[in-house]
Amino acid sequence: MKNLTEDGITRSALSRISGCPNSRLKEVVRALTQHLHAFAREVELTPDEWLAGIQFLTEVGRITSDKRQEFILLSDTLGLSAMVDLMANRDAPSGATESSLLGPFFREGAPFFPDGADISNGAPGEKMIVKGRVIDSAGAPIRNAIVDTWQASSEGEYDLQQTDSDQMNLRGRFRTDANGRFSFRSVKPSSYPVPDDGPVGRMLRALARHPYRPAHVHFKIAASGVRPLTTALYIGGDRYLDSDVVFGAKKSLVVGYSHSGANGASADTIEFDFVLASDKRTKAPKKKR
Ligand code: BEZ
Ligand code: FE
């Protein structure tokens, strides 16, 4: 029997997975093991610190439920979700609308609305109009695309956070017309803190980080022949654009309000062309290092 050394233990842990028949699983666990060991060595991790880390992860698991996913929030606030999303969209053609995080507040089965409908259900706040066009990479309109949209209120809360009832509010689905257009009325969203009453919130405070996302409206768009797009539009001028707690805001997705409408129904308006890439994709190419 060999004595284990600090270096030998990494080799030994790696050799234990040499027989793994699933090559991708083996690749991922090999790299994870190497990086975890290197991390422990680099920071000279003490037993007390590692125990505190395990207690933290245990709390993340405990608070996670059907309605709250603290592990995703942890991944989001560490920038890992945004990193995975960026890698997955590396091969998107230039000009295609960039993706942005889905987040925990998306709900399946939002109601379908006719074009121009108001999705705010009388929620208080400054009125806004959203006018979108869904087009392909060549600029041709995509008709019959399904546009799912959801947003926080002017007070920075999603319907899921406001009430115990299942009522959907400030969200809905639209179908694009023959010109690829859709539009709706709503109230202006505000920036908001991600749920920060759990272990991830404690982590953010310990790191002297704020918990805010800049004001935005989410979109999930699907149509036949194109790659589905999950993205969001961020309101220009928001104070958190450069420090989004989950690293989701991107320059190309920042929009401003212009004024439009008629007959006393005018409001600040967001206009945006969503460019969807063709779905002829195999696998995102590996980045050369
Ligand atoms: C959101 O934009 O809804 C969101 C995204 C990631 C974490 C929390 C919220
Ligand atoms: Fe959001």
Q: Looking at residues 54-69, what average pLDDT do you find?
A: 93
With beta carbons less than 8 A apart as the criterion, state whether 188 and 238 touch: no
What is the pLDDT at residue 118?
Answer: 96
For 134-149, the pLDDT digits (tens) are 999 999 999 999 999 9
* Residue 140 alpha carbon to ligand 1 centre in Å: 31
Residue 170 DSSP code: S
Which atom in ligand 1 lies closest to the alpha carbon of residue 102?
A: 5
Q: Could you read off the pLDDT of 95-110 as tens digits, one per residue?
A: 999 999 999 899 999 9
Alpha helices in 169-274, H assignment, sequence order: 199-206
Ligand 2 geometric centre to CA of 39 (Å): 32
Which of 37-41, 157-161, 197-201, 269-273 comes out lowest in average pLDDT? Answer: 157-161
Give the containing element (helix H, strand E) for 17: none
| Phi/psi at 41 (5° precision) | -65, -45
Atom of ligand 1 nearest to the CA of 213: 2
Q: Which of 135, 85, 67 is nearest to 249 (CA)?
A: 85
What does the pLDDT read at residue 272?
98
279 CA from centroid of ligand 1 (Å): 26
CA distance 170 to 180: 22
Q: Which residues' Cβ are closer than 6 Å to ligand 1?
A: 73, 76, 101, 103-105, 194, 213, 246
| Structural tokens at position 64 | 């996670």
Provide the sign of the torsion angle of the four alpha carbons 200, 204, 205, 206, taken in this order: positive
- Percentage of the chain beyond pLDDT 70 is 94
pLDDT the model gives residue 110: 95
How crowded is residue 96: how many other Cβ atoms within 10 Å of its Cβ?
Answer: 20
CA of 217 to the centre of ligand 2 (A): 7
Please name which of 240, 60, 259 lies closest in space to residue 152, comparing C-alpha atoms: 240
| pLDDT of residue 217 exceeding 90 | yes
